[in-house]
Amino acid sequence: MVEMKKPKNAQNKDFVAAVHCCRFANWMPASVSSLAYNDDQGLLAVGRGNGNIEIRNIEQNWRVDRTIAGKSDIPVSALCWYQDKDIGSRLIASTMDGTICEVDLNTLEFTNSQDSFGGPIWSMALSESSQAVAIGCEDGAVRIMSLDGGVSYLRTLQTLQERVLSLVWDENKDHLFSGGSDGTICQFDLKTGHSVQRMTLDRAASGAEGGAAALVWSLTLVDGGRALASGDSLGQVTVWDLRTGTAAQRLATHAADVLCLAAQREGDTQRLFASGVDSKVVCLVGLAVAAEEGKPGAGAGPGPSRWSVVDAHRPHSHDVKALCLARRDGKAVVVSGGLDTQLCVYSAGAFGPARPRRLWPFPHHRAVAVAPLRDTTLLVAVQHDRRVDLWALDQGPAAGADLHAHADGDLLGAGDDEDGGEGATAGGRQHRLWGRAELGENEGWNLSGIDLAARGDGSALLAFTGPGGTRVLRVDAEGSGGGG
């Protein structure tokens, strides 16, 4: 018991408030596995390691606008926004169980799911003009999926590599670049589906016996598509001259694998951001140089820019797995995320002087609900990803019970009414109302529950209107509602 100052509107002169310090209500956030920015609506999609996808509104101070519950503990490997001429923005997601699907932001569920036919999906690249996405699979194949009217298989490109870890689409030339776990980068002509150029990282540079192949974790185009930047397991960023297929520059930017890259051009200034296992976020700046006479490709325009490291930050404590460029208040920003679960935001134009802003992974909803169960006992419902823990504070640790979620997705919310008589859990597709939580004579829980199937799309809201009163509200995509 802790005595507190009496509020001004308190009637009792001897006002005493009970404060409980609970250590069993631990919030366990999930790691960040992928990022994607929607410029039209100012939304940032954040894929988590537990399968969930967060939608953050950048202009509203990075507020979590909604959460889509995914398959438990199956990370979202890649995300991309597709601007459909008919229905607007569509969010496409791929997962490590080999599924590519569309995310319905109204009903908060995954739709139009399609199997990759090649195992886990490691990478994805979007082509707006072709209305398609390319996915890199475990079996070494690059598959093209059509986004016209849903998500459907289109074709498979020539298989030349082992596991395809990275992809980037050059829409200007209708070419696709893929990076593999065998240290090779393939350039595909999408008209024929065959490789027209193959670039290989130096095996001896790894320093391993037998010349172990490096892993090409990330790819991005620079110099207006004339050059390609790659990040690999050697801790290097390599810039490739696409006219000759040779490495124009190698930069040892990191002490471990470079997992992600992001390129930004503002006027005549080019910036390249890189990060990875050593948790360091590096900014490189490129200076344009003219093509040298006598070299292959001379006279075909300026050569690749010369890049140099100008600044670096280390706000993360563990691996950085995703980088994304976005805009806030009309200015370019860089967003990073990784295993330490937090997001960090940097100014792209003032990367060095400005310190990064941290977006902590605190729950955006109420994770703990409290209601009186007896005269001296409080019922506490603690929400986790896939279960709700019930605790009676005055009964000790023995008075606890678990309510487990269904296998189709994580929990989106949980709560109970004011007298502890009823509670509810909500998932992506199913809702459950559990009634009259009571402690038996042997300190055991007596729980009864029913499943609510108001709608199959999960667009239902449970509201406790008072002791003994519960309403189930249906929320349609257009915003209309109904009750029962």
Residue 480 has a pLDDT of: 43
Q: In whole angstroms, what is the distance from residue 417 CA to residue 452 CA?
A: 17
Q: What CATH code is assigned to 368-483?
A: 2.130.10.10
Q: In whole angstroms, what is the distance from residue 391 CA to residue 405 CA?
A: 17
Residue 380 has a pLDDT of: 80
- Let me know if domain 32-359 sits in CATH 2.130.10.10: yes
Angle among Cα 369, 373, 376 to the nearest 5 degrees reads: 110
Q: In whole angstroms, what is the distance from residue 63 CA to residue 65 CA?
A: 6
The ranges of the chain annotated as CATH 2.130.10.10 are 32-359, 368-483
pLDDT tens digits, the chain, 484 residues: what are they? 333 444 455 555 565 666 777 777 777 889 999 999 999 999 999 999 999 999 999 999 999 999 998 887 799 999 999 998 888 899 999 999 999 999 999 989 999 999 999 999 999 999 988 899 999 999 999 999 999 989 999 999 988 888 999 999 998 888 999 999 999 999 999 999 999 999 998 765 544 455 578 999 999 999 999 999 999 999 999 999 999 999 999 999 999 999 999 999 988 889 999 999 999 999 999 987 765 544 444 334 566 789 999 999 999 999 999 999 999 988 999 999 999 999 999 999 899 898 999 998 887 777 788 777 666 677 788 877 777 777 777 755 545 555 555 444 444 455 555 554 555 555 555 555 555 444 444 445 544 444 444 444 445 555 544 555 555 555 554 444 444 4
pTM of the predicted structure, to 2 decimals: 0.81
Query: What residues contact 469, with CB distance under 8 A and at least 6 apart?
Result: none
349-365 CB burial, b ≥16 within 10 A, e <16: eebeeeebeebebeeee
